[in-house]
Structure 1
Amino acid sequence: MGRQLLDIVQYILDFGPTVMLPIVMLILALCFRVKFTKALRSALTIGIGFVGIFAIFDILTSSVGPAAKAMVENAGVNLPVVDLGWPPLSAITWAGPIAPFVIPLTILINIVMLTLNKTKTVDVDLWNYWHFALAGTLVYYATGSFWMGILASGITAVIILKLADWSAPMIQKYFNLPGISLPTLSSVVFFPIGLLGDKIIDKIPVIRKWDINPETVQKRFGIFGEPMMVGLLLGVLLGIVAGYDLKGVLMLGINIGAVMFIFPRMVRILMEGLMPLSDAIKGFLHKRFPERKDLFIGLDIAVAIGNPSIISTALLLTPITVLTAFILPGNQTLPMGDLANLAVMISMVVLATKGNVFRSLLIGIPIIIGDLLIATALAPTITKLARDVNFSFPEGSTDLVSSFLDGGNPFRFWLTKIAEFNIIAIALIPVIGLIVWWLYKTTRSKVYEIDKNINKDM
């Protein structure tokens, strides 16, 4: 049965998000009695928007990736754990024993939570359910219990949906994505960390007044502060650090500038298709459940990556990550595959700081340190998982492999240690619980005000 479920899951996933999302959105719209022609047009527009978004995201990663690799080679970093990056890790996870059951489990959890008014997010981001599957798989390997793995996947889904709800009003205001939440585990778990870091910086004299964001930069520097110019300058700087020649430096600068210029336009196409469906679904729910005035469509974090503050912070963190990997005691992970995806990790920290690049950079450094050490600690488990599913190891990475982004995720590591009955991990449950509760309470009034104003405008 597990093999059959896996084959079905793999067949569905092979369509890719640009095909699957329009299908899911069309079915969802028809379930909420949206007129077929309107639903079809909107669903196709959403799919076309995602084609553009992923195309631009590919330009970003294919431009930054070689530059990051060159920096690693120039630095002479020689570490035994190879960073595969998240794409191979997702393929490994989907081939694992927990994955076939995660899609129906997550859909069921989402429906139950929506019915009980315990979430506002309709998570249509099916291909990213692998994030929940990886959490369950790590617990399965740590405990040897299939059911513990399934339970871990379910708990992870619930927590991520709640974090997506919490951050959604700010996403709508600061990322200009109305009606959207972002339940991507590899980014949203850093939202509370970003909020905590932001509050700590508020207490530090002098630097608490430093606010570097695209708006203030553009006001001060005019045309040189526009997103495409900032992208050009950061790309040129990254190319120089990578040791590129003049041609390579200029090409990297133009590519990054193009990403910052074109990305928001692709998101606007996506929103053009999404808003009619979102409004129709909200109207349907409001008629039957007058108390339910809000609903968020859960999408991939990719829709937010084009924010200039996110890209700027990620590019600045790239050389810092290479240097940190080289000097950090205890680190054995060579950051390669995921260096081009730092924007995913840092995106919700940027949100928590309201686009302040300086603060996001400060908060990002300890996150990078934690990710490197966790990726190192989980490398034996991830390597065993890869071998068990007969993953084809790239040349030079047959000993230990991990993933800097997802293999180093602190939430999954903590959950795995709890399942192992690690005393420190268990003791941290009330501590972290109280911190998150305090952060939620202290930010709830501001978030509620944002949410209220957005609903009023809509």
Structure 2
Amino acid sequence: MDSIAHIFQWLINLGGVVFLPIIICIIGLFFRVSLSKAIMSGITVGIGIVGLGLVITLLSQSLGVAIQQMGEQYGSSLSIMDIGCGVGGPLAFSTTLGLLLIPASLIINFIFISLGWTRTLNVDIWNFWFAIFLGLVAYAVTGQYWVGILGAITAIMLQWLLADLFQKRVSSFFGYPGIAVTHLMALSGAVVAIPLNWLFDRIPGFNKLNADSETLTKKFGIFGDTVVIGLIIGLVVGILAGYDASQIGQLAISTAAVMKIMPKMVAMFMEGLLPIAEAAREFTSKKLNGKQVNIGMDAALTVGHPAVMATALIMVPISLLLALVLPGNKVLPFGDLAFYAFGVCLMVPFFKGNIIRSIVGGTVYLVICLYMSTWLAPTITEVFHLAQYDVGTSGLITSILCGLWPVTLFVLLLHHTGYIGLGVLALIILALLIYINKIRKIEMY
């Protein structure tokens, strides 16, 4: 097991830009894709990762810095640092729990697929980190390593369950046949969006409002275009940050550029993945008695959609305003500002691309996340201490996008019922996986 852990550590140390293309190439060969096509698929996915990284870095270094300056001007009473979910991967994979769970997850996944207990083959190894993070939370709360393993396995099964349930809706909305999003952070938002959309349908007047990206462009001309929306947001944030005219202009163009470039980078990502997904369907149809298998991938595939990007950008200034006015909140949004798209991307399909509903629903979700990330700050800080991960501050730290209902559920269960409650949750999730895939073969959404 130690040798396997060392192999995965070596792969992880290569960086996602290198190891994910390697994994994609290997998966392609397994599904009988020709060597040349498998290599090109891996390279193309790698190019997409580089492109997405450049765009996110641009967003973080431009809009993120401006928002930080806004926070310094208006949010001095907010004492808990939002370190951002971006450090989650390095944190998770710096622990023995993280390294052990990579091969364990892959092995369990193949067993579940063979038994017909899940339709999701999760090759998004980088985003195993969130399930591992939940395991570290369980370890931090109980002080017992084996409970951390139980927590991580429970989280892994939870992401398969949600990916199976939501694959049909997500795939059809974004146009990705044979692909399932397995990023638990994104899947968590979908769970919240379903009851919110039910509620929105029953609010007179509000239920008639519909503004997807095409409708906005038709009604408002260029001012409804998502690129122009990005430009306007950049202008407003630059003014509120106290920038001079040159800085405001640069920020506005940078934000508009993100709106334009992001979809093109996602398209490059999908160009590499689609041959693998098609080969997987053909292979499983022949070798697994027709069992449907979807390739589990990162939510990065969805963040380039105009409705997702528009919602995420508008939520940036909203988040700062909420942080200032919500009584009891102690978190100053910063680290997660560039990652809001990953929190709301799977909410958008359940709002049918309606940007108004997405913004309102995302705002409600953000309120919950701010309060939960405030409450969870001591636990999240302890997780970093357990991993001996230096974050450069001695105070409490948190992540807005780690203040999600799965983290809260785990902590509440462990505080009030101990490992027994977590074990019962694992059994419930397992039973649901078997029920929806083996007994009833349900596709809820």
- Identify the residue that residue 439 of structure 2 maps to in structure 1: none
Please tell me the residue identity of whatever aligns with 1:313: T
The sequence identity of aligned pairs, in percent, is 33
- Identify the residue that residue 387 of structure 2 maps to in structure 1: 389
- Identify the residue that residue 111 of structure 1 maps to in structure 2: 110
Please tell me the residue identity of whatever aligns with 1:416: V
- Identify the residue that residue 95 of structure 1 maps to in structure 2: 94
- Identify the residue that residue 369 of structure 1 maps to in structure 2: 367
- Identify the residue that residue 47 of structure 1 maps to in structure 2: 46
Please tell me the residue identity of whatever aligns with 2:305: N
Q: C-alpha separation between the residues in 1 aligned to 2:19 and 2:391?
A: 29
- Identify the residue that residue 322 of structure 1 maps to in structure 2: 320
1:240-319 matches, within 5 Å, as: 240-292=239-291, 294-319=292-317
What SS does structure 1 have at the residue aligned with 2:389?
coil
1:104-253 matches, within 5 Å, as: 104-253=103-252
CA deviation after TM superposition for structure 1 residue 45, in Å? 1.7
Q: C-alpha separation between the residues in 2 aligned to 1:214 and 1:224?
A: 11
Q: C-alpha separation between the residues in 2 aligned to 1:222 and 1:311?
A: 18
Matched, 1:415 2:415: no
Going from structure 1 to structure 2, the CA distance change for 1:8 and 1:312 (only over 3 Å counts) comes to: same
Q: C-alpha separation between the residues in 2 aligned to 1:125 and 1:189?
A: 17
- Identify the residue that residue 71 of structure 1 maps to in structure 2: 70
Please tell me the residue identity of whatever aligns with 1:233: I
CA deviation after TM superposition for structure 1 residue 195, in Å? 1.2
Going from structure 1 to structure 2, the CA distance change for 1:382 and 1:23 (only over 3 Å counts) comes to: same
What SS does structure 2 have at the residue aligned with 1:348?
coil
Q: C-alpha separation between the residues in 2 aligned to 1:413 and 1:174?
A: 29
Please tell me the residue identity of whatever aligns with 1:110: N
Equivalent residues of 1:81, 1:402 under 8 A apart? yes
**Which piece of structure 1 moves more, 194-203 or 314-323?**
314-323
Going from structure 1 to structure 2, the CA distance change for 1:176 and 1:62 (only over 3 Å counts) comes to: farther
Going from structure 1 to structure 2, the CA distance change for 1:335 and 1:176 (only over 3 Å counts) comes to: same
- Identify the residue that residue 25 of structure 2 maps to in structure 1: 26
Gaps of 5+ in 2: 437-441
Equivalent residues of 2:31, 2:276 under 8 A apart? no
CA deviation after TM superposition for structure 1 residue 421, in Å? 2.7
**Which piece of structure 1 moves more, 324-333 or 356-365?**
324-333
CA deviation after TM superposition for structure 1 residue 188, in Å? 0.8
Within the candidate set 395, 402, 405, 1:399 is matched to: 395
Equivalent residues of 1:109, 1:158 under 8 A apart? no
**Which piece of structure 1 moves more, 26-35 or 164-173?**
164-173
What SS does structure 2 have at the residue aligned with 1:26?
helix
CA deviation after TM superposition for structure 1 residue 48, in Å? 1.6
Equivalent residues of 2:315, 2:362 under 8 A apart? yes
**Which piece of structure 1 moves more, 172-181 or 14-23?**
172-181
Q: State the Cα deviation string for residues 72-98 of structure 1 (Å, max 9, x = none).
A: 112133222211112234323333352
What SS does structure 2 have at the residue aligned with 1:251?
helix
Q: C-alpha separation between the residues in 2 aligned to 1:269 and 1:76?
A: 39
Equivalent residues of 1:83, 1:333 under 8 A apart? yes
Equivalent residues of 2:21, 2:46 under 8 A apart? yes
Q: C-alpha separation between the residues in 2 aligned to 1:387 and 1:149?
A: 15
TM-score (norm 1): 0.87
What SS does structure 1 have at the residue aligned with 2:349?
helix
Please tell me the residue identity of whatever aligns with 1:399: G
Going from structure 1 to structure 2, the CA distance change for 1:74 and 1:184 (only over 3 Å counts) comes to: same
CA deviation after TM superposition for structure 1 residue 426, in Å? 6.5
Q: C-alpha separation between the residues in 1 aligned to 2:353 and 2:76?
A: 32
Please tell me the residue identity of whatever aligns with 1:381: T
Length, aligned pairs only: 433
What SS does structure 2 have at the residue aligned with 1:98?
helix
Please tell me the residue identity of whatever aligns with 2:108: I
Q: C-alpha separation between the residues in 2 aligned to 1:184 and 1:316?
A: 22
Going from structure 1 to structure 2, the CA distance change for 1:278 and 1:40 (only over 3 Å counts) comes to: same
**Which piece of structure 1 moves more, 64-73 or 234-243?**
234-243
- Identify the residue that residue 359 of structure 1 maps to in structure 2: 357
What SS does structure 2 have at the residue aligned with 1:419?
helix
Going from structure 1 to structure 2, the CA distance change for 1:269 and 1:389 (only over 3 Å counts) comes to: closer
- Identify the residue that residue 341 of structure 2 maps to in structure 1: 343
Q: C-alpha separation between the residues in 1 aligned to 2:385 and 2:175?
A: 43
Q: C-alpha separation between the residues in 2 aligned to 1:361 and 1:227?
A: 14
Please tell me the residue identity of whatever aligns with 1:115: S
Equivalent residues of 1:238, 1:315 under 8 A apart? no
Runs of 4+ deviating beyond 4 Å: 4-8, 447-450
Equivalent residues of 1:102, 1:132 under 8 A apart? no
Please tell me the residue identity of whatever aligns with 1:362: V
Q: C-alpha separation between the residues in 1 aligned to 2:283 and 2:91?
A: 40
Q: C-alpha separation between the residues in 1 aligned to 2:147 and 2:233?
A: 45
TM-score (norm 2): 0.89
